[in-house]
Amino acid sequence: QSALTQPPSASGSPGQSVTIFCTGTSSDVGHYNYVSWYQQYPGKAPKLIIYEVTERPSGVPDRFSGSKSGNTASLTVSGLQAEDEANYYCSSYAGNDNLIFGGGTKLTVL
């Protein structure tokens, strides 16, 4: 199973919104509503920020939102803050007890 495709980088100014895309196939992102997003700071473990495409764990600011259209999922960060500068990874269930991740997007707050 191939990894999900993410742009290597994204950027925005404080207060702006930025959207990160995650492209899979009809066998993973397009087939299951089990897309998750993780935020990771250098040297730290990933932190779950979105699960099941649109759901936010408790404690995650509502500035983070997720959606999906066809084989592409997206993470939108609204009202960008300096602390949002991190790496973001998507993942999707791919059937047959299989989970795949994206290669990651480095978000820079200008």
Partner 1 sequence: QVQLVQSGAGVKKPGASVKVSCKSSGYSFTGYYMHWVRQAPGQGPEWMGWINLNSGGTHYVQKFQGWVTMTRDTSISTAYLEMTRLKSDDTAVYYCARGPSRQLVYYFNYWGQGTLVTVSS
3-state SS string over 31-49? CCCCEEEEEECCCCCCEEE
Does residue 9 interact with partner 1 by CB under 8 A?
no
Count other Cβ atoms within 10 Å, centred on residue 76: 14
Does residue 52 interact with partner 1 by CB under 8 A?
yes
Does residue 30 interact with partner 1 by CB under 8 A?
no
Does residue 46 interact with partner 1 by CB under 8 A?
yes
Q: Select the residue interacting with partner 1 from 23, 31, 48, 67 (CB under 8 A).
A: 48
* Nearer CB in complex with partner 1: 37/71: 37
Q: Where are the beta strands (DSSP E) in the chain?
A: 9-12, 18-23, 35-40, 47-50, 64-69, 72-77, 86-93, 99-101, 105-109
Provide the token pair at 52: 């099941």
Does residue 89 interact with partner 1 by CB under 8 A?
yes
**The tokens 């404690």 sit on which residue?**
59
User: Binding residues for partner 1, how many (CB under 8 A)?
Assistant: 23
Positions in the binding site for partner 1 (CB under 8 A): 3, 6, 34, 36, 38, 45-48, 51-52, 57, 89, 91, 93, 97-104
